[in-house]
Amino acid sequence: MSDGVRNVTQALAGVQQPWQPHRLVSVNDYDVKVVKLHGEFVWHSHPDTDELFHVIRGELTIQLRDGDVLLGPGDVYVVPRGVEHCPRADAEVEALLIEPQGTLNTGDAGGERTSPLRELD
């Protein structure tokens, strides 16, 4: 196996807490993050960037002001830049996020749910 190979399943097994993204790899100026989601997050937007969600396991609802988007395993959805959204997972979800490096998980909302990007062990 090459030093650059990362296993998504193994990476997710190392994530202990929900809503705390961990960098899986970086591609150019973007981070591919693994994250576990459970419960309701905060309403927020990312004024300068789109945000890609890829569900690996579970069901994720992306709440939007004009209706919800339901994602299941294998589904991908891009929240356009500036669109206010609030992810909700009624049971634990495992997902990948793709965002520009330096993007805060809480976007413009800030607050106690803001989590620094963690590195995998």
CATH number of the structural domain spanning residue 49? 2.60.120.10
Residue 94 φ/ψ, nearest 5 degrees? -110, 135
User: Is 110 inside any structural domain?
Assistant: no
13 located within any domain: no
The number of domains in the chain is 1
**Residue located via tokens 């576990």:** 36
Residue found under tokens 């030093």: 3
Q: Determine, yes or no, domain membership for 120.
A: no
Nearest to 118 by CA among 12, 45, 43, 28: 12
Residue 31 lies in a domain: yes
**DSSP letter at 58?**
S
For residue 1, being part of any structural domain is answered with no
Tens of pLDDT along the chain (121 residues) come to 457 899 999 999 999 999 999 999 999 999 999 999 999 999 999 999 999 999 999 999 999 999 999 999 999 999 999 999 999 999 999 999 999 999 989 899 988 889 889 998 7
* Domain limits for position 43: 23-102
Q: What's the whole-model pTM score? A: 0.93
For residue 90, what are the β-bridge partners? Answer: none
